[in-house]
């Protein structure tokens, strides 16, 4: 199933229901995140091959994260030069 559907449905529901009485959604988000991360951990833990490759994944992640941060700053600098905003 497409993941965009619930996101767009949520945005539309939010726009139409914004004046209704508020319920505290931060608890729902917290619960969903904990359940999601738990099941992700479960899927990693129950896969012995994946578990064995975690050190390599961690090493790769450090390289990618550093490059992502570096290029984000470089591109932002370029955009700033081109568009000349302060």
Smallest gap from Cβ 52 to other proteins, in A, equals 11
**What is the rounded distance in angstroms from the CA atom of residue 68 to the CA atom of residue 75?**
11
Is 28 a residue that touches other proteins (CB under 8 A)?
yes
Q: Within 10 Å of residue 21's Cβ, how many Cβ atoms?
A: 5
Calculated CA dihedral for residues 69, 71, 73, 75, nearest 10 degrees: -150
**What is the rounded distance in angstroms from the CA atom of residue 80 to the CA atom of residue 7?**
31
Sites for other proteins among residues 43-82 (CB under 8 A): 43-48, 50-51, 53-54, 57-58, 60-80
Smallest gap from Cβ 29 to other proteins, in A, equals 5
Please report, as ranges, the residues that interact with other proteins according to CB under 8 A.
1-4, 6-18, 25, 28-48, 50-51, 53-54, 57-58, 60-80, 83, 85
């Amino acid at each position: 199933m497409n993941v965009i559907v619930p996101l767009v449905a949520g945005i539309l529901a939010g726009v139409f229901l914004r004046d209704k009485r508020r319920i505290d959604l931060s608890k729902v988000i917290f619960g969903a995140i904990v359940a999601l991360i738990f099941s992700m951990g479960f899927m990693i833990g129950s896969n012995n091959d994946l578990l064995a490759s975690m050190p390599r994944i961690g090493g790769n992640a450090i390289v990618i994260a550093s490059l992502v941060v570096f290029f984000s700053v470089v591109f932002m600098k370029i955009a700033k030069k081109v568009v000349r905003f302060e």
